[in-house]
Every structure is written in structure tokens, then in C-alpha cells.
Amino acid sequence: MSATAAREAEAREPGGDAVIVARGLTRRFGDVVAVDHLDLTVRRAEVYGFLGPNGCGKSTTIRMLCGLLGASEGSVCVLGHELPDDAEAVKRRIGYMTQRFSLYEDLTVGENLEFLAAVHGLAGAKGRARIGELLERYHLGVLHGRLAGAMSGGQKQRLALAGAVLHDPELLLLDEPTSAVDPQSRRDFWDALFDLADAGTTLLVSTHYMDEAERCHRLAILDRGRLVADGTPHDLMAALPGSTVRVDTPTPRRLQQALAREPHVIGVAQIGASLRVLTDRRDDGVAWLASTLHERGLEANVDDTPPNLEDVFVAATRAREASP
């Protein structure tokens, strides 16, 4: 079986039901490697997260998965279609929501949705019914006649989501969709995403917010174009190659500076009046840190604290920095 046939078979496998299969996916811009040999499998009806800082390759990867950007190397199969050969067939079956509001600000909410309905061939009663359904679902009915440019960030976000799902796509790709909205709007938006997943839509969401990443069914952590971790948030935290320790001290800044020089300390962050310390000592992190502080005459209370995704991210990226 050829490599292409194998990828298409995996995408159609009844038990696995992979919607996206990427192998060795790479994109170069001159001498800059934006995405570096990425392997990725996304299953049907899951919310799959891309976590990473700005510039790590999230947006470039999403553009390649949409068929908007060709790969320099590697392969990608989306909804059973090989890209870039079948890009047009894929585009009809996916939705794409960018970080910046991409609809027409000088059109009303209703006019934007009517335009998109025409683009997708949803004419007449069918189109009107679908628009009415989305106006109600995303609480846009009272805004039907308002210019898009006059709406708040959260309202624009709901309109952009309605536009992205107007044609009922099987796969929805969202590139940092909550970067410009308030916390309540973010919570409401994620409720809407899980409603879509429950209805069978597959979602790939890029974010740099740790709390959003924890909501995903599965998660990829990217660093400088490379995949450095992949799994469920729970599994990634359980597999943390080290331990996390809470340190309560009356002099947190002084202690942070001292710990930053310790060879077994991967990262230190001040949280309120306490320090959160990530060490590479998986089994004896608390005992080792307590002993180290005592030897240096530093006053502190040391205790275990559960790991979080920020710890996973720091451990994964620091491990890559340390590798040759």
C-alpha cells in the first residue's frame, strides 16, 4: 500500500475515524522553518487544541490544513482528501475562523450572513431558515440590523462563529478565536464549541491560554515549529517528568532568584505571595527542595502542589532547549 493510500485508509478507518492525518508536515519561509516535521492525528468530533506562544507555528499549520498554504515537505490528509491536490473539495467541508474579525464591518449582521449563505449556495427558504437558526443559537437576533463594525468584541466573535458554521462544516478550524474578548464571552464561546462537538463537528482550536487548553479533549504543544507534547491534558500532566512544589516564604523575590540558579529547578513562578517551583526530581522534589533551602539558610514552607499545563509546557520547551 502506498503512503498516500495508507493515510487515506487511516482517515476512513471506522474505529479510529481520523479527520486530519499529517505526517512530517513542514513549512519553510526562506531560511526560517515555521513548522518543522509535524505529525498530527485528529479524530472525529473531538476538540483538539494547539497550545503555544505567538510565532510557534500554530497559524501556519492551520493554513496548511485548510489548503490555503502549501507544505514545503511532508503530507496531510483532511477528511479523506490529500492536500493540496484536493484542496477545493476540502474547503467546501470545513469552516475557518481567524483571529481577526474577517467579515464586512460596513454590512449588518443579517447582510453578512446572507452574503455567506449565497457564497455557500444556500438560497431561498433553506438559506433563510439556516440564518434564522444561527441568529437564535448565537443570540444575534436583536442585532440583526446592526452594522458589524458597531458591535462589541464578544458580539463580533459570535457573528464570526455563525458565519464559519453557516454551511454546517464537518471540520472547524479556529485560530486563536478568543484573543480579543472578555472572560465571560470566552466561557460562552467554549460552551458553543462543545455544543458543536456534541453534534459531531470536529474542532481544532489554537490558543495561548492555559485554561482554554485544559478544556480540550486532546492537546498538542508547539514550540518553534516543533511538536513537543501531544495527548489529553490529564495524561500530559500525569506524565510530567518532574514534580511541582509550592513554596511559601516572606521573601519570594529573593528566593526566586536563588532557586533560578539551582541545577534541578526547571522553572520558578511567583503566584501571589507564594512560589511555584518545577523541578526535575519526580519522586523527591519536596524533600530535595526543603533540604536545599535549609542548607542555604532560607526560610520557607515547602509542600506538594498538583501539576498544571503551564508546568507541562515549561518542562517540554526547556527540555528541547537543553537537547543538542
What is the structure's pLDDT at 16? Answer: 53
Q: Domain 241-306 classified CATH 3.30.70.100?
A: yes
Confidence check: pLDDT of 30 > 70? yes
| pLDDT per position as a tens digit, 282-292 | 999 999 999 99
pLDDT at 183: 87
Question: Cα dihedral angle (165, 166, 170, 171), rounded to 10 degrees?
Answer: -30
User: Same CATH topology for 3-236 and 241-306?
Assistant: no
Q: pLDDT: is 319 or 21 the higher one?
A: 21
Q: Is the pLDDT of residue 322 over 80?
A: no
**Per-residue pLDDT at 15 exceeds 50:** no
User: Given a cut of 70, is residue 11 above it in pLDDT?
Assistant: no
Structurally, what CATH architecture does the domain formed by 3-236 represent?
A: 3-Layer(aba) Sandwich (3.40)
47-105, pLDDT tens digit by residue?
999 998 888 999 999 999 999 999 999 999 999 999 988 999 999 999 999 888 889 99
243-248 and 274-279 beta bridge pairing: antiparallel
Q: pTM for this structure?
A: 0.87
At 43, which amino acid appears?
A: R
Q: What is the mean pLDDT of residues 162-180?
A: 93
Task: Give the model's pLDDT for residue 13.
Answer: 44
Residue 215 above 50 pLDDT?
yes
Nearest to 221 by CA among 5, 16, 38, 29: 38
Distances (CA, A) of 183 to 180, 189, 191, 282, 309: 10, 10, 13, 34, 19
User: Domain spans of the chain?
Assistant: 3-236, 241-306
